[in-house]
Amino acid sequence: MKGIIVVDIERCLGCRSCEIACAVEHSVSKDLFEAIEEAPLPQYRVTVEAAGKLSAPLQCRHCEDAPCVKVCPTHALEKVGPGQSVTIKEELCIGCKWCILVCPFGVIGMDRAGKVIIKCDLCLERTEAGKLPACVEACPTGALNFQELREVTKKRRKEFLVDFKPQKPLVKEE
Amino acid sequence: MAEIKERSIDPASQKLLKRAKEQDIMTAWDRHDAMQPQCGFGRLGICCRNCSMGPCRIDPFAEEEQTGVCGASADTIVARNFIRMIAGGAAAHSDHGRDITHALMLTAQGEADAYGVKDEVKLKALADEYGIKINERGKEEVARELAEKIFAEFGRQHGELRMPLRAPEKRVKLWKESGVMPRGIDREIVETMHRTHIGVDNDYKNILMHGFRTALSDGWGGSMVATDLSDVLFKTPEPILARSNLGTLSPDEVNVVVHGHEPTLSDIVVDAVRDPEIVKLAKKNGAKGINLVGMCCTATEILMRHGIPVAGNFLQQELAILTGAVDLMMVDVQCIMPALSSVATAFHTKLVTTSPKNKAPGVTHVEFKEEEAYDIAKKIIKMAVENFPNRNGHDIQIPEENEDLVAGFAAENVYNFLGGTYRATYRPLNDAIIQGRIRGLAGVVGCNNPKIKHNFGHVEMSKELIKNDVLVVVTGCTAIADAEAGLLQPEAAFEYAGKGLQEICETVGIPPVLHVGSCVDNSRILMALTNVVLEGGLGEDISDLPAAGAAPEWMSEKAVSIASYFLASGLFTVLGVPFPILGSKNVTNFLCHDIENILGGKFAFEADPIKAAHLMIDHINKKRQALKLRPMMYQ
C-alpha cells in the first residue's frame, strides 16, 4: 500500500488516539495493556498540537528532498525512494540532533534514552502488509487519512468544481 | 460463515447472524467492529470528564508523569472512574430492589390486587430478622411493616444496614474494622458521587475502599432486598424443568418476549397470557395460542417460578427479532439495547416499553403501574395478539435449537436436594467438599460482550470447572448460556463432570451447574456461601472457603458492582475483559494483589476461559490446603 498521510484539520477533535495507537504500534508487544508495562516505555511519533481553536496531528511528511537526510553526517537517515518513506537506521545514528534542528515541522525527536532520534516510519510493516498506518486506523473521525497523492489531488479538483460558481454561465442556456 | 462462527458458539445464534448479514441488518457485533479501534484512554480508565477545566486524559506513554488540570493523578482518575461504575451498577440493582419493595407495600395496603404474599415462610423469616412482631397479625400487616423497614434501609441515615449482618461473624467484623460496612443503600451511591466530584477524595485506596462499601450496599443490600422481597411476593423458586434458546419461539402461536429485569410486570403477564378472552382472540386471529418466552433476567424470574422458557441472553435480543416470529417484545429496564427499535422496523415486531425510566423514540410506551398490573399486562398481550396477522408475507426463520434445563435453586432449597427432606442441612455439601468429592464452589456470572465469542467464555469455563470437580452455580446471562449448551441438565454430569462431582450429582439428581437466578440473585450465592461457612468444617469466613467467582463475558456496570461485592465478601474473582483500571499501576496492583490482605478477595483478568478456570482451581486448591482438607478422592 502506497500513500501519504493527509490531515483533515477540521475533523481533528484532539482526542490523541493517534498518539496512543502509534506508541502501541512501536512497542514490543503491540498490545495496549502490555505496552504500558514495557521498559523502556514505547514512544509515539505523531503529536497532536493545538493551533488556536483547532488541533492537528503532526508527523514526518517524508519530504522528497528531505533536509534531515541531507544533513545526516552518518547517512543514518535515508529516503527509501521517490514517494516512499524517510527511515532511520538506528545503528548508524550518533544522536547529533542536526536533523531535529533542520526539520521544518519539528516532528523528529530523541528516544527516551536520549541516544538516537525517533521519527514516523509511515508504519512500513503495516503498509507492506496492506494495512493502514496505525494512527490513521485509530482516528475515530477520519481526520487522518492515508491516500495516494493522485487521489488527494483528484478529490481537491472535485471539491473545487463544486465550489466553482462562474459569474456568467459558461455555456449559453438554450 | 467463518466470521459468524467467530461471533457465537450457539448454532441458533449463528443461523440468525447469517440472516442479519443477508438482509444487511446491523447487530451488536457489527457495531462493535465499526467501533474498532476503541479509545485507548477509555480502555485504560485514564480520561476524566468530571469538571469543565477538563476533559483531561493522562498520557500513558508520557516522558514524565502527567496529572489532570486539578492535579489528579492517573491513580485518582482511574479509582474515581472505577467506583463511579460500581455506583452505576449498585444504583441499577438497588433501584430494582426499591421497585419490588414498592410493589410489596402496595400489595400489603391492598392497592395492587394482582399481587399477594405468596411465600409466608420467607415473610416470617424476614419479619423475624427485622424485629417485626407477628403475633396474631395478618400477613398483609406484617408485610406492610416489613416494606416500611426495608424502605428505610435505602434512606438510612444512622447505623448500618441489617442484611450484611447475615454474613459470617468474622466477615462482619472485618467489614467494620476496614471501614466498608454499608450504612445506607442510597447513601453509599450518593457518597460515591460526592467523593468523585472535583476536589474531593484523591487517595486512591480511600476511594476504592468506599467503592467496596458501595458494592456491599448492593450485594448485601439492594440486590438482596430485590431477591428476598421477590420471593415473598412471587414465592421462593424451587427446581423446575423448562426449555431454553431461540427454538422456544413458536411458528404458529403469538410470540410474546418479555425482556429486561424486574418480575413485577412479567410475573403478571404469565397470568394474562392465560386469560380466556385473550386466548380466544388469539385463535380468532389465526394463532394456535399464545407463547410467552423471556429474555435476560426478567426471563429468569419467571423461568424459575413458572417454568416459562427462556429464549436467550443479552446478545440474543436482536436475534430473537430477526426470526421474524416475535409479535411483541415488551421491555422494562436494564440491558435493553437501544438498537432494538431499528431492528424491529425490519420486521412486523412490535416493541413496547413499560417503565417510566426507559422510553425509546418512536416506540410504543404502555406505562406500568402496580395498581393496574393485570389490566396493563392484558392490554399489552392484546396488542401482541392483534399484531399476529401482520406476520403475513414475512419470512419466519425459527432455529430448532431448544435445550432442556433445570432452574430454580435457591439458598433455601439447595440443601433439600443435597441432603433430602429428612436431612435438610448443608452438611452433605460440606462433607462432599471435606471428603474431596467436590473440590470447591464457583459462582460464574455476568453478561455477554462481543469482545468475547458469545457464550464461549461462560460455557468453556463452566465445563472446565466441573471437569475438575468444582460445583458451579450460575446466574443471569451465564445461566442462559449454560442452559443453551445443555449444562443445566442432570445428565450433563455424566458427560462433563469429574468423577467426584459426578457421584454427588448422580446420588442427588442435580445438574453439575446449578441455576440460582437472575443478576440480583447473586445475593443468593452470598447466602449459600454463608450457609456453607455456618454449617462448619470449612473455616470461619467466606474467604476461607475453597470458592471463587468469575464473570467471563462481563460488560455492564452492574457486573462491576457484583465483582466488587464478591471481592469484598472474600472471593477471588476473575474477569474475562479487564476492568478499565490498567492505566494506573497502583490501582491495578491494589485490586489484583494488596486488597487480598485487607478483604480476603482480589481480582484477576484473563480472557481465555480455560486459563481463567485454572486460576480459580489453583485458588481453590490453595484454600483446600490452608484448611488442611484431604486430597481429592479421585486424582
Q: How far apart are CA B310 and CA B301, in angstroms?
A: 10
Closest CA to B487 of B513, B465, B456, B453: B513
Report the alpha-carbon distance of residue B313 to residue B297 in Å, rounded: 8
Cis peptide before A40 (omega within 30 of 0): yes
For residue A170, what pLDDT is reported?
65
Provide the pLDDT confidence category of residue A38 given band limits of 50, 70 and 90.
Answer: very high
Of A32, A41, A55, which to mutate for an interface test with B (greatest number of B Cβ within 10 Å)? A32
Chain-chain contact of A36 with B61 (C-beta, under 8 angstroms)? yes
Residues in contact with B434: Cβ distance below 8 Å, sequence separation at least 6, in sequence order: B537, B538, B629, B630
Cβ within 8 Å of A, B 10-39: 37, 39
Amino acid at A53: K
Torsion sign across C-alpha atoms B211, B217, B219, B223: negative
With a CB-CB cutoff of 8 Å, which residues 569-608 of chain B face chain A? Answer: 578, 582-583, 585
Tens of pLDDT, residue by residue over B562-617, are: 999 999 999 999 999 999 999 999 999 999 999 999 999 999 999 999 999 999 99
Taking CA atoms, what residue in B is nearest to A38? B61
DSSP classification of residue A130 = T
Distance from CA of A22 to the nearest CA of B (A): 10
pLDDT confidence of A1, banded at 50, 70, 90? confident
B59 touches chain A (CB under 8 A): yes
Whether ipTM tops 0.85, in short, is: no
pLDDT at B593 (0 to 100): 98
Strand partners, B241: B406
Residue A169 has pLDDT above 80, yes or no: no
For the segment B311-330, what is each residue's pLDDT rounded down to a tens digit?
999 999 999 999 999 999 99
Is residue B469 within 8 A of residue B493, CB to CB? The reply is: no
- Residue B197 confidence (pLDDT) above 90: yes
B44, closest residue in chain A (CA to CA): A33
Q: Quick check: B41 and A20 CB within 8 A?
A: yes
Tell me the pTM. 0.93
Average pLDDT of span B3-27 = 96
Tell whether A21 lies on the interface with B, counting CB pairs under 8 A.
Answer: yes
Indicate yes or no: CB of A32 within 8 angstroms of CB of B61. Answer: no
Count of residues for chain A? Answer: 174
Delineate the domains of chain A, giving CATH numbers in brackets. Answer: 4-59+120-163 (3.30.70.20), 62-105 (3.30.70)
- Comparing alpha-carbon positions, the chain B residue that sits nearest to A32 is B40
Residue B410 has what pLDDT? 84
Smallest Cβ–Cβ distance between A43 and the set B41, B61, B583 belongs to B61
**Distance separating alpha carbons of residues B359 and B190, to the nearest angstrom:** 25
Q: What is the rounded radius of gyration, in angstroms, for the C-alpha atoms of chain A?
A: 19
- Are B40 and A42 a contacting pair at CB < 8 A? no
Chain A residues with CB inside 8 Å of B582's CB?
A: 33, 36
Measured between CA atoms, how close is A132 to chain B, in angstroms?
A: 12
Q: What is the mean pLDDT of residues B513-526?
A: 96
In order of B476, B584, B625, the CA distances from B580 in angstroms are: 22, 9, 33
Place of cell 389490566: B375
- Domains plus CATH for chain B? 2-57 (no CATH), 74-234 (1.20.1270.30), 246-391 (3.40.50.2030), 408-626 (3.40.50.2030)
Contact list, B41 vs chain A (CB under 8 Å): 15-17, 20
d(CA A10, CA A19): 18
pLDDT in tens, B105-140: 999 999 999 999 999 999 999 999 999 999 889 999
| 3-state SS, residue B605 | strand
Which residues of chain B have a CB within 8 Å of the CB of A138?
Answer: 37, 40
Distance CA B172, CA B166 (A): 8
pLDDT of residue B509: 87
- State the pLDDT at residue B424: 61
Mean of the per-residue pLDDT values of chain B = 95
Tell which residue, B531, B530, B510, has the closest CA to residue B466: B510
Query: Among all chains, which residue has been given the C-alpha cell 447505623?
Result: B159
By the CB < 8 Å criterion, does A43 face chain B?
yes
